[in-house]
Amino acid sequence: MSAPGHDSGDAAARANTLRDQIRGFDHAYYVLDDPLVSDAEYDRLLRELQDLEVRYPDLLTEDSPTQRVAGTPRSDLVPAPHAVPMLSLANALNDDEALAFDTRVRAGLGVEQVRYCCELKFDGLAVSLRFRDGVLERAATRGDGSVGEDVTANVRTIRSVPLRLRQEMPGIVEVRGEVLMFRRDFERLNDQQLAAGAKEFANPRNAAAGSLRQLDAAITAQRRLHFFAYGAVAAHAGAKGEGLLPGTQDRAQPTRQSELLQALQDAGLPVCEHRKVVEGIEGLRAFYEWVSERRDELPYEIDGVVFKVDAFAEQQKLGFVARAPRWAVARKFPPREARTVLLGIDVQVGRTGALTPVARLAPVEVSGVIVSNATLHNEDEIRRKDVRIGDTVIVRRAGDVIPEVLAVVPELRPKDAREFVFPTTCPVCGSAVVRVEGEAIARCSGGLICAAQRKQALLHFVGRRAMDIDGLGEKLVEQLVDTGRVQHPAGLFDLTVEQLQDLDRMGEKSATKLRQALDHARTPALDRFIYALGIRHVGESTARDLARHFREFAALEKADENELLRVKDVGTVVAQSIRQFFGEPRNRKEIDALLEKVHVQPVADDLVAGDGQALSGMRFVLTGTLPTLTREEAGTRIEAAGGTVVGSVSRKTTYVIAGSDAGSKLDKAQELGVPVLDEDGLRKLLQEKGTR
């Protein structure tokens, strides 16, 4: 017998290589809790070995990895033999293989359609819990299928595992299930590992295995493990007694897998709610698709679903092969992880100026999609994972999440692999790249002129709380940028009515109105102008404090870090950010261009008089049109005196300041009995409280 691409000598050599590799991966995964390859890569190698042994039967040996469940017990844990072997499941990697499973089952039973119990395939660690007369006696890992490791003390710390069953279950019963770690707990654990300078876990399954097999149960107790039961055997049921439970006076012995799961749940054991009894191959396909669509919504990781013939009598008729039952199969999801080669690293600039390194990869299929790019997150991640150009890397794609480089395969690193040097200038506009101490993200400092940030910078600049240019929304800004009419904020003030009319959905009336709004915005208040510049860490409140302190824009521009630190609530990070912004020559050039188009209003004396606390604790609502003040100016005076301006009227409102055409807010104030003041009343209140 021969196989494509192999003669018998080549096949024997390849089989020996595969066995050695798989044994090494088994030892790392099951004994050391340190997986060296992804599940997809492991499955591929095991499938290749199985195919060789089928094509060349003389190559099959009793100690081949294909003839055992997996792994060996750790020598530092007490051995724990199983009453009935804990077997693995055969895999179906696609729909054709699932159909082949159903065909074999129907042929073996001599029926046209089979009833199946469908369950989730958890990505955790298989365990067996021994209960004697309903009391937890021992817990063991699967180990090699016949002998596992005694982890009783650790399992007793898992809160979802009952120490005594809620219903009678006489004799000795071994409950089979999976210990796993939820995603949120995995993230919390890795944060703790990172903070402690310890090694992070590769995935939740690895974390669950490492946590369960601790020699110190106190460590396990801190790690928030969970358990789901999916099977049980009675210790006296015999070597092939999978699925049997003793009956009681109140309950008949389950005859189906679905009945067994319900019995386990009734006894107080956690059983996953996502299970279903279906008919035939169409039912199997429907369950697979249903779970696939909801996979990312689950709080824990799964890597497929499990199909089991529901009736135990039919299971016994079908029997077992060497390492798996004929009556069950694991329908695996497409691999979310794959190996490929890192060809290079590019740096992308986001709309907020964040620089993100992106791996250019040799194209590889992950979760059914060809992936050629993946995120490397930031400079620290590249250093932590020791990623180098030319490395073989493991790439992961989860649902709609951007693919990411999980890890490097160090043993495959070529001699000419190169370290990546992070840029010091923006690859888009050439501005300096800055990174605030304590932050992981590096950013382009050219916020006003960087093409990558252009749309976001313009939208912020024209916003209601910034320059307040009415009529310039997201779609119009996109058109202005995409058509090249506006490159920087200063260019907005050069737009003509004719240019605006050429835009989609802009008639002469709308264009004229927008042109008037632009003209009105030429005299902004200082705090609004500062906020409109989009300086990182400078929000509305900080912009207001800066305006009150410096009074004029020129003074703020010239201020050094020490002067900035004298401003209320401005700390080192904010001060550094402001200086970096004004220190970037390209920003200075754009500011100069802006100052030729607008006249920034200095802060008036009456806005900085008093101690700024006269109206502290008071809540104001502004509504309608005031005679001489805009609502923004009135709000600025209130906030300068320590008051708070809110948008809606409630019983907590101190005053409503109402002008003409006040509307529903005035009605609400009258309904609730909230005092109402006009502009004169506001001025008197400010005078009475010691401000002007």
Residue 21, token pair as written in the block: 């590799």
CA dist., res. 58 & res. 261, Å (int): 42
| Structure token pair of residue 102 | 């159903």
- CA–CA gap between residue 645 and residue 599 (Å, rounded): 26
**Which pairing describes strands 276-279 and 115-122: parallel, antiparallel, or unpaired?**
antiparallel
CB atoms under 10 Å from CB of 32, counted, come to 13
Annotation says 121 is catalytic: yes
Is residue 153 within 8 Å of residue 251, measured between CB atoms? no
User: How many angstroms separate the CA atoms of 257 and 276, rounded?
Assistant: 11
Tokens representing 371 are 């992936």
In terms of Cα–Cα distance, which of 147, 124, 139 is closest to 71? 147
Burial class (CB in 10 A: 0-12, 13-18, 19+), 394: buried
Strands 655-658 and 676-677: what pairing? parallel
> Which residue is catalytic, options 121, 308, 332, 665?
121
Q: What whole-number distance in Å separates Cα of residue 679 and Cα of residue 666? A: 14
The amino acid that residue 657 corresponds to is I
Q: HSE, CB side, 13 Å, CA atoms: give it for residue 503.
A: 27
H-only helix segments in 163-298: 183-195, 204-212, 217-221, 257-266, 280-294
Q: How far apart are CA 604 and CA 550, in angstroms?
A: 11
Q: Cα–Cα distance between 4 and 25 in angstroms, integer?
A: 27
Largest CA distance in the chain: 104
Q: What are phi and psi of 684, to 5 degrees?
A: -65, -40
How many residues are present in the chain? 692
| DSSP-derived secondary structure letter, 31 | I
- Cα Rg, the chain, nearest whole Å: 34
Cα(89)–Cα(103) distance, rounded to whole angstroms? 17
Helix H segments across 132-229?
Answer: 152-155, 183-195, 204-212, 217-221
Bridging pattern class, strands 404-408 and 125-132? unpaired
Q: What is the DSSP secondary structure assignment for residue 620, as one 8-state letter?
A: E
364 neighbors 371 (Cβ within 8 angstroms): yes
619-623/644-646 β-pairing? parallel
Cβ contact 140:149 at 8 Å:
yes
User: Taking a C-beta distance cutoff of 8 angstroms, is the pair 229, 223 a contact?
Assistant: no
Grouping H, G, I as helix, E, B as strand and the rest as coil, residue 655 is strand
The angle formed by the CA atoms of residues 82, 86 and 87, to the nearest 5 degrees, is 150
User: Which run of H or E residues covers position 129?
Assistant: strand 125-132
H or E element, residue 316: helix 312-318
d(CA 608, CA 627): 22
What ranges in 453-599 are assigned the alpha helix state H?
454-462, 474-482, 497-501, 508-520, 526-532, 540-550, 553-558, 561-564, 572-583, 585-595
Catalytic residues: 121
